[in-house]
C-alpha cells in the first residue's frame, strides 16, 4: 500500500544492487518475502573483513592522522562505534557474536563512573555521540544492561531547561588547547537546545523498549519535530540543508533519522510535522526511484560509491515509509 503513494516503485532499483546484503533486506523489509535467517549475511566477505581488523582489546583503530595531533582524543572509540554500526545495521550482527561482545566491552570501558561515555572530545562531555553509541549497544542486545540504564540516567540529568540537549562546548566562544584535558564543561541549562545533539541522543531512547516511552524523551522529541527543516541554534551543522543530507548507517540527524525515531516513539503519520517530512520524500524521489543522499559529487556524476550509498539510504527511506504508511 505504501509503495502506491510514491510516483515510482523503488523496489526494482533497490533489487538491482550488486550488494547481497542490500538485496536481502529489500526482499525481507520492502517486499516482505521469506528470505531465510539474517545470520547468512554475517559470512559475507565485507563483514568478515571488518571483523578481521578488530584488535585484541575489542576496538578498531581509527585510520586518520588526527590521532597524533590531539592525543587526548580517543578516536578509536569513534572508530569502534562506526565499525559496530556497520556490522549491526548492514550485516545483522548482535551480541551472540564474539566480535560484538568484545567491541561492546571496549565501548563500556570508556564509560565513566558518572555514567557517560567519554573520550572522543578528550575529557569533555559528548552527549550526542553517547546517544548513538548507546543506540547500537541496545540494538546489539544490551538494552537491559545496568550500564545502559546508568547512561540513560546521566543523559536525563543533563537536559536543558527547555527539555532538549546540547553539546556543552557549543556554548563556548573559544576552546583553549588545555580544555581537552580539563574537567568537563557543564551545560548552561538556560541555553536553547541543539537539534544536532537532541536528535542523536533521542535515538538511544527510541530503540529501547521502555525508554522510548519516557516522558522527558517524548518532550524532547516534540521539540525536535518543530525544528525540522530549520537551522540549528549553534554552529555545528547549522544550516537547514543538513536536514536533507542522509547516511546509512544513520549518523548525523536529518529528517530520515528523525522520522525513524518518531515512529519508534509512537508518533503517527497524522502529526503535521511528520506529514511534512514524509511529503518531502514523496516529492523528492528521483526518476530511478531512489533519493539523493546530499553528499554526491556536485557535478552530478554518480560514482559507484555514491550509488551504493543511495541504495542503502533508499532502503532506509522505504523502511520508514512502511512504518508510517504500510
pLDDT reported for residue 302: 66
User: Residue ranges per domain, the chain?
Assistant: 1-36+285-326
pLDDT reported for residue 319: 98
pLDDT reported for residue 283: 97
pLDDT reported for residue 64: 74
pLDDT reported for residue 70: 77
Cα angle, residue 277 at apex, residues 287 and 233 outer, rounded to 5°? 125
pLDDT reported for residue 300: 63
pLDDT reported for residue 301: 63
Contacts of 44 (CB under 8 A, 6+ apart): 20, 21, 91
CB-CB neighbours of 253 under 10 Å: 30
Q: Are 211 and 266 in contact (CB under 8 A)?
A: no
pLDDT reported for residue 66: 65
Consecutive sets of 10 residues in the chain, 326 residues long: mean pLDDT of each? 93 97 98 94 97 98 76 94 98 98 98 98 98 98 98 98 97 92 96 98 98 98 98 95 98 98 97 98 96 83 83 98 93
In the block, which residue shows the cell 575489542? 58
pLDDT reported for residue 30: 96
Amino acid at each position: 500500500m505504501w509503495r502506491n503513494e510514491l510516483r515510482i516503485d523503488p523496489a526494482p532499483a533497490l533489487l538491482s544492487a550488486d550488494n547481497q546484503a542490500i538485496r536481502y533486506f529489500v526482499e525481507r523489509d520492502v517486499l516482505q518475502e521469506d528470505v531465510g535467517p539474517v545470520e547468512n549475511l554475517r559470512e559475507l566477505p565485507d563483514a568478515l573483513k571488518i571483523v578481521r581488523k578488530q584488535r585484541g582489546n575489542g576496538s578498531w583503530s581509527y585510520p586518520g592522522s588526527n590521532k597524533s595531533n590531539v592525543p587526548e582524543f580517543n578516536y578509536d572509540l569513534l572508530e569502534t562505534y562506526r565499525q559496530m554500526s556497520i556490522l549491526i545495521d548492514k550485516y545483522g550482527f548482535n551480541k551472540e557474536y564474539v566480535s560484538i561482545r568484545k567491541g561492546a566491552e571496549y565501548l563500556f570501558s570508556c564509560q565513566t563512573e558518572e555514567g557517560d561515555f567519554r573520550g572522543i572530545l578528550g575529557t569533555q562531555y559528548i552527549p550526542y555521540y553517547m546517544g548513538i553509541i548507546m543506540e547500537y549497544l541496545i540494538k546489539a542486545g544490551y538494552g537491559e544492561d545496568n550500564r545502559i540504564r546508568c547512561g540513560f540516567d546521566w543523559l536525563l540529568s543533563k537536559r536543558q531547561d527547555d527539555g532538549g540537549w546540547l553539546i556543552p562546548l557549543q556554548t563556548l566562544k573559544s576552546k583553549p588547547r588545555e580544555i581537552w584535558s580539563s574537567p568537563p564543561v557543564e551545560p548552561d541549562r538556560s541555553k536553547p537546545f541543539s537539534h544536532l545533539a537532541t536528535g542523536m541522543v533521542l535515538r538511544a531512547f527510541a530503540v529501547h523498549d521502555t525508554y522510548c516511552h519516557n516522558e522527558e524523551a517524548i518532550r524532547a522529541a516534540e521539540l525536535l519535530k518543530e525544528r525540522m527543516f530549520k537551522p540549528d541554534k549553534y554552529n555545528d551543522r547549522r544550516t537547514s540543508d543538513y536536514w536533507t543530507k542522509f547516511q546509512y548507517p544513520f549518523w548525523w540527524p536529518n529528517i530520515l533519522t528523525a522520522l525513524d525515531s518518531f515512529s519508534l516513539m509512537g508518533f503517527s503519520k497524522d502529526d503535521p510535522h511528520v506529514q511534512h517530512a514524509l511529503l518531502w520524500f514523496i516529492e523528492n524521489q528521483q526518476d530511478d526511484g531512489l533519493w539523493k543522499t546530499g553528499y554526491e559529487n556536485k557535478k552530478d556524476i554518480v560514482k559507484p560509491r555514491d550509488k551504493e550509498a543511495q541504495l542503502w539510504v533508499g532502503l532506509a527511506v522505504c523502511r520508514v515509509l512502511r512504518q508510517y504508511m504500510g
